[in-house]
Amino acid sequence: MKKLITLIVLFTSTVVSAGTLVVNSNQSGESSKAAFDAYVDAFRAAHPEVTVVVNEFEHEAYKTAIRNFLTAEAPDVAIWFAGNRMKFFVDQNLFQDVSDVWADAGLNDSMASTKGSLTVDGKQYGVPWGYYQWGVYYRKDLFDNLGLNVPKNWEEFKWVCAMLKKNDITPITIGTKFLWTAGGWFDYLNLRINGYQFHMDLTAGKVSYEDPRLDATFAAWRELIDPGYFLEDHASFSWQDAQAPQINGEAAMYLIGNFYVPTLESAGVVDKMDFFQFPTIVEGVGIAEDAPTDTMHIPSGAKNVEDAKKFLAFMSNKEAATNWATMGGMLSPNKYADKPTNRFSVMGAEMLAAADDIAQFWDRDANPDMAGAAMEGFQEFMVKPDREAKIRARLEKERARIHGDL
């Protein structure tokens, strides 16, 4: 399969001539593909001298294919993710410095909020095109039936869970088969308890997994695990499988990203749904949110750098930026873009604008190797909380192997 992809890339890049821009895209979903096509069409209209060739990859396959094509036969533009996922390729000198695009196209102003996640050593290595919020999507009808209000802090949250459980409703649905959903829970608990800086130090491998400050994070998690507030047998469900209980009205809350909304719409339950920000746990800790940012980069091996920079700079076009993000159910990082109209996006935009800090997500902030091992540990903890000490010792061993001794 990888060979085939390389061959396709090889083929498409040998037939192209000057003035041709090759873009590798992972926007394979129906709505995200339409959104990306709209951006490409707008770019073509604005720059008729450039011929744009798009190589589309399936979203998951892209994650392994990118390492091949960046080294073997680089496109001119590649879509990717901000944070550690980008830094890995920057460290390999596989992405180009595009600070000049930021300066010339006024992105330093219009994209200021996401600049940090694209900066390594003071230089920018990509341009963001969309991001989305995480938070709790809940069944408002179930809450109303039981007279429950949106919980603002940890005590209220646990009380809501207890009330739901008492009425035979699964308080929290989750499917941890592919692990990352458990990473979302760890992110939020740790961000709310130990704050953004500690969390970033942990993802950077600068803090031990046996650090006593993490005790509180795992203890809070246990307060939800021990009474059975999470969906039973969640390790056998994917994140899509876990939607069913909520759509059927058997589960009330789901901590997930805004990409959940299209499913709610097609399942016809969107009117019964609402959204709230993950509650405060420790007073005085700055509010940080997970908001993964999707990006565009110019590989070091790009042949048509000039047009690639035009393609990235086109994100300063507020109309094109708006369309790409909103058609795909995302928020535009361009602050001059039109305000979103979908109510979940509106709530997300307000929440993120008010946040003190923005994290990318566990498996985008942490080193890929460490992220995988840690999420496996989180999944195990959610089922066998008594193994906490053993799990944390194992993770610390992994951390030491990957990041070195403290």
Can residue 123 be called a binding residue for other proteins (CB under 8 A)?
no
Among the listed residues 108, 149, 236, 240, the single contact to other proteins using CB under 8 A: 236
Can residue 341 be called a binding residue for other proteins (CB under 8 A)?
no
Q: Please, what sign has the CA dihedral across residues 234, 363, 320, 303?
A: negative
Q: Please, what sign has the CA dihedral across residues 122, 115, 64, 400?
A: positive
Can residue 274 be called a binding residue for other proteins (CB under 8 A)?
no
Can residue 14 be called a binding residue for other proteins (CB under 8 A)?
no
Among the listed residues 1, 45, 49, 93, the single contact to other proteins using CB under 8 A: 93
Can residue 385 be called a binding residue for other proteins (CB under 8 A)?
no
CB of 346 to other proteins, least distance (A): 33
Can residue 206 be called a binding residue for other proteins (CB under 8 A)?
no
CB of 247 to other proteins, least distance (A): 12
Among the listed residues 12, 16, 20, 88, the single contact to other proteins using CB under 8 A: 88
Can residue 61 be called a binding residue for other proteins (CB under 8 A)?
no
Number of residues located near other proteins, criterion CB under 8 A: 33
Query: Which residue number, 307 or 380, has a Cβ lying nearer to other proteins?
Result: 380
68-98: b (≥16 Cβ within 10 Å) or e: ebbeebbbbbbbbbbbbbbbebbeeebbbbb
236-264: b (≥16 Cβ within 10 Å) or e: ebebeebbebbbeeebbbbbbbbbbbbeb
Can residue 386 be called a binding residue for other proteins (CB under 8 A)?
no
Can residue 377 be called a binding residue for other proteins (CB under 8 A)?
yes
Among the listed residues 336, 383, 385, 396, the single contact to other proteins using CB under 8 A: 383
Among the listed residues 52, 53, 61, 235, the single contact to other proteins using CB under 8 A: 235
Query: Which residue number, 261 or 391, has a Cβ lying nearer to other proteins?
Result: 391
CB of 192 to other proteins, least distance (A): 25
Q: Strands 170-172, 134-139: parallel, antiparallel or unpaired by DSSP?
A: unpaired
Can residue 64 be called a binding residue for other proteins (CB under 8 A)?
yes
Can residue 124 be called a binding residue for other proteins (CB under 8 A)?
no
Query: Which residue number, 55 or 379, has a Cβ lying nearer to other proteins?
Result: 379
CB of 367 to other proteins, least distance (A): 9
CA atoms within 13 A on the CB side of 256: 26
**Interacting residues with other proteins (CB under 8 A):** 64, 67, 71, 87-88, 90-94, 176-179, 232-237, 241, 244-245, 368-369, 372, 376-377, 379-380, 383, 394, 397
